[in-house]
């Protein structure tokens, strides 16, 4: 609590003035060095012998405008898939992580399957899983086989579920055993202790890495274009094929970055908040 | 007898922590367990609460063998409160939620009724204004009092206190000890492991000195702490006095 009568002593005022001066100098220095690096990079790129060609085939504003609507339309598919896939992958990851913590001989097969799943799908390249799902499953000619978009989405969910399961498991294991002991001592069963005491703490702790994986999932959703559906990348590819110009890819790239920015921002914010909490906590 | 331990054995690998320990606790009785670190005080409390499985012997609560493997441990724990040295409050829940968790989820009591009872207890221990706070905003002494309330709202037959003041700053020990003294006044049956000999002398009806996994000597506090008959009890007390804790 500060008293209203408090005035910094002369020595403290000197310190404040010194620190202010130092801060101003730092800002000026940073601005200067940024400008220098920027100019150098600009000169290096625009001065390159092939710059004119590159500008024509990658940064053609006319072509960008021509294909933007189609790419945006494709992006809408990416956004819908992102939301559905992220939610499903989070649910699957949480389920598998919890299954892996079950104890007792009855649950051995469940535990073994869950472990096998996280081991194999973390090792499998997503592209191969998409190919296997989108082209392999329809090949079975079963009735009611969903379309390739759904199958591609399932491939993403199953692959990311394996990563997220490991993140959740790390969170569950980071909760100190004394918390479980306290919950059990109150008469809560294993499931109740998990649900009310362990999981809420675990999820809070791993929120930053979970969000980070969601950012990765966001861009990997573009890989479903390999299975055929016209998403932003596929739309860009069509544009590239029609014009023999790479600008549509750059347009799609910019849109993906813009799409990722909010989630990246949220991830940073959550991480910062978690770090602050940890430092503040006794 | 509320609690009856007979010939209890507990080992961790080659380390025999409880070696044929027997101890009875009657209704409304307060028993203080004293003894060096590693003498088995905490392990005994964890075994009574079935957090650790014993390797031989029996433990009975109100005459029922609770170490029978066929028994449901959750049902037994509902009748035994345990308070830990390190409080172990749930950091993601408010004080009120910490206290009402078991009454609502285990005993299926209406939330409003559980809340009312929790607030009554908090008022009694002078923490009503902390009901909405998270545990990390509370001092150690306040946290430990909340932890004791959390155990009490389940109306346990027996309250186990595991060195509940050992993690507290010296000036905060008093508020927790006062609360335990009040509980004795209410007639709560308690077993407390403690290093506070002065407190054991004041509050305990009986002091049991644990040594090498057995009760070596037990009796009224004046006798065990004042005129111990066993040489090892005298040695232990001499070390405590040397450390200025008696």
B218: helix, strand or coil: strand
Of A257, A235, A229, the residue nearest A64 (C-alpha): A235
Q: Which residue has the higher pLDDT, A275 or A71?
A: A71
Size of interface A-B (CB pairs under 8 A): 63
Q: For residue A43, what pLDDT is reported?
A: 92
Mean pLDDT to the nearest integer, B88-109? 95
Per-chain mean pLDDT for chain B:
93
Is A184 within 8 Å of B51 when comparing Cβ atoms?
Answer: yes
State residue A187 phi and psi, 5-degree precision. Answer: 100, 5
B207: helix, strand or coil: strand
Q: For residue A282, what pLDDT is reported?
A: 37
Residues of A in contact with B82 (CB under 8 A): 185
Of all residues in chain B, the one with the smallest CA distance to A198 is: B90
A281 pLDDT band, cuts 50/70/90, is: very low
The total of other beta-carbon atoms located within 10 Å of residue A262's CB is 9
Q: Which residue has the tokens 């990246």?
A: A264
Enumerate the domain spans of chain B. 3-242
A2 pLDDT band, cuts 50/70/90, is: low
B189 pLDDT band, cuts 50/70/90, is: very high
Is B89 within 8 Å of A182 when comparing Cβ atoms?
Answer: yes
Q: Which of B84, B105, B107 sits opposite A182 (nearest CB)?
A: B84
B23 pLDDT band, cuts 50/70/90, is: very high
Of all residues in chain B, the one with the smallest CA distance to A203 is: B92
Is B102 within 8 Å of A186 when comparing Cβ atoms?
Answer: yes
In whole angstroms, give the CA distance from residue A232 to residue B154.
58
Mean pLDDT to the nearest integer, A179-197? 94
Is A204 within 8 Å of B89 when comparing Cβ atoms?
Answer: no
Residues of B in contact with A182 (CB under 8 A): 84, 88-90
Task: Flag whether pLDDT at A137 surpasses 90.
Answer: no
Of A242, A253, A241, A246, the residue nearest A54 (C-alpha): A246
CA of A114 vs chain B CAs: smallest distance (Å):
27
Q: What percent of chain A has pLDDT over 90?
A: 65
CA of A181 vs chain B CAs: smallest distance (Å):
7
| Residue A42 tokens, joined | 């600009």
Q: What is the fold of A61-280?
A: MetI-like fold (1.10.3720)
Task: Flag whether pLDDT at A40 surpasses 60.
Answer: yes
Mean pLDDT to the nearest integer, A244-272? 90
Task: Flag whether pLDDT at B196 surpasses 90.
Answer: no
Residues 25-84 of B with CB under 8 A from A: 46, 49, 51, 73-75, 77-78, 80-82, 84
Q: For residue B245, what pLDDT is reported?
A: 62
- What distances in angstroms separate CA B128 from CA A10, A266, B42, B141, one per listed residue? 45, 36, 31, 15
Task: Flag whether pLDDT at A1 surpasses 60.
Answer: no
**Domain B3-242, CATH 3.40.50.1970 — does that match?**
no
Lowest mean pLDDT among A145-154, B61-70, B154-163: A145-154
**HEC profile for chain A?**
CCCCCCCCCHHHHHHHHHHHHHHHHHHHHHHHHHHHHHHHHHHHHHCCCCHHHHHHHHCCHHHHHHHHHHHHHHHHHHHHHHHHHHHHHHHHHHHHHHHHHCCCHHHHHHHHHHHHHHHHHHHCCHHHHHHHHHHHHHHCCCCCCCCHHHHHHHHHHHHHHHHHHHHHHHHHHHCCHHHHHHHHHCCCCHHHHHHHHHHHHHHHHHHHHHHHHHHHHHHHHHHHHHHCCCCHHHHHHHHHHHHCCCHHHHHHHHHHHHHHHHHHHHHHHHHHHHHHHHHHCC
In whole angstroms, give the CA distance from residue B209 to residue A194.
37
Q: How far is CA B91 from the centre of its chain?
A: 21
In whole angstroms, give the CA distance from residue A79 to residue A221.
9
Mean pLDDT to the nearest integer, B190-200? 91
Lowest mean pLDDT among A134-143, B110-119, B229-238: A134-143
Q: Which of B89, B92, B106 sits opposite A188 (nearest CB)?
A: B106
Is B101 within 8 Å of A196 when comparing Cβ atoms?
Answer: yes
Mean pLDDT to the nearest integer, B34-60? 93
Mean pLDDT to the nearest integer, B20-45? 94
Q: What percent of chain B has pLDDT over 90?
A: 85
Residues of A in contact with B49 (CB under 8 A): 185
Q: Given the cut 0.95, state whether the ipTM is greater than it.
A: no
Residues of B in contact with A204 (CB under 8 A): 92
Per-chain mean pLDDT for chain A:
90
pLDDT tens digits, one per residue of B120-157: 999 999 999 999 999 999 999 999 999 999 999 999 99
Task: Flag whether pLDDT at B181 surpasses 50.
Answer: yes
| pTM (two decimals) | 0.82
DSSP class of B64: E
Tell whether B104 lies on the interface with A, counting CB pairs under 8 A: no
Is A186 within 8 Å of B150 when comparing Cβ atoms?
Answer: yes
B246 pLDDT band, cuts 50/70/90, is: low
Lowest mean pLDDT among A3-7, A64-68, A261-265: A3-7
Task: Flag whether pLDDT at A226 surpasses 90.
Answer: no
The total of other beta-carbon atoms located within 10 Å of residue A102's CB is 15
């Amino acid at each position: 609590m500060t008293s209203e009568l408090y005035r910094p002593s002369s020595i403290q005022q000197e310190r404040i003035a010194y620190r202010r001066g130092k801060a101003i100098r730092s800002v000026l220095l940073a601005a200067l060095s940024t400008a220098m690096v920027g100019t150098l990079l600009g000169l290096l790129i625009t001065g390159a012998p092939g710059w004119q060609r590159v500008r024509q085939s990658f940064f053609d504003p006319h072509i960008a405008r021509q294909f933007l609507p189609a790419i945006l339309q494709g992006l809408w598919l990416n956004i819908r898939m992102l939301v559905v896939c992220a939610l499903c992958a989070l649910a699957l990851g949480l389920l598998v992580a919890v299954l892996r913590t079950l104890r007792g001989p009855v649950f051995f097969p469940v535990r073994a399957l869950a472990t096998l799943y996280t081991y194999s799908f973390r090792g499998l390249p997503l592209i191969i899983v998409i190919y296997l799902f989108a082209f392999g499953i329809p090949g079975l000619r079963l009735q009611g086989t969903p379309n390739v978009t759904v199958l591609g989405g399932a491939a993403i969910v199953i692959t990311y579920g394996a990563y997220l399961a490991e993140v959740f498991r790390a969170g569950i294991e980071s909760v100190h055993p004394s918390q479980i002991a306290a919950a059990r001592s109150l008469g809560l069963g294993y499931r109740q202790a998990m649900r009310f005491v362990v999981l809420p703490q675990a999820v809070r702790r791993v929120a930053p890495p979970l969000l980070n994986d969601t950012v990765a999932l966001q861009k990997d959703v573009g890989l479903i274009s390999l299975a055929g559906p016209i998403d932003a990348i596929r739309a860009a590819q069509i544009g590239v094929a029609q014009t023999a110009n790479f600008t549509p890819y750059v347009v799609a790239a910019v849109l993906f970055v813009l799409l990722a920015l909010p989630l990246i921002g949220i991830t940073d914010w959550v991480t910062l908040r978690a770090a602050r909490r940890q430092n503040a906590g006794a | 007898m509320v609690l009856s331990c007979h010939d209890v054995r507990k080992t961790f690998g080659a380390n025999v922590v409880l070696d044929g320990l027997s101890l009875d606790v009657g209704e409304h009785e307060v028993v203080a367990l004293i003894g060096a670190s590693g003498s088995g005080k905490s392990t005994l409390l964890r075994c009574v609460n079935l957090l650790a499985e014993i390797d031989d012997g029996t433990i009975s609560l109100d005459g029922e063998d609770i170490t029978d493997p066929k028994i449901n441990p959750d049902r037994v724990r509902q009748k035994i409160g345990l308070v830990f040295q390190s409080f172990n409050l749930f950091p993601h829940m408010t004080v009120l939620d910490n206290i009402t968790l078991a009454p609502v989820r285990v005993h299926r009591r209406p939330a409003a009724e559980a809340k009312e009872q929790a607030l009554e207890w908090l008022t009694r221990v002078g923490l009503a204004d902390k009901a909405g706070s998270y545990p990390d905003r509370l001092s150690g002494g306040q946290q430990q009092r909340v932890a004791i309330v959390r155990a009490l709202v389940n109306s346990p037959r027996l309250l186990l206190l595991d060195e509940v003041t050992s993690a507290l700053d010296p000036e905060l020990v008093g508020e927790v000890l006062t609360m335990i003294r009040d509980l004795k006044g209410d007639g709560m049956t308690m077993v407390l492991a403690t290093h506070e000999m002065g407190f054991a002398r004041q509050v305990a009806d009986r002091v049991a000195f644990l040594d090498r996994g057995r009760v070596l000597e037990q009796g009224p506090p004046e006798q065990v702490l004042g005129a111990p008959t066993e040489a090892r009890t005298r040695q232990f007390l001499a070390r405590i006095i040397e450390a200025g804790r008696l």
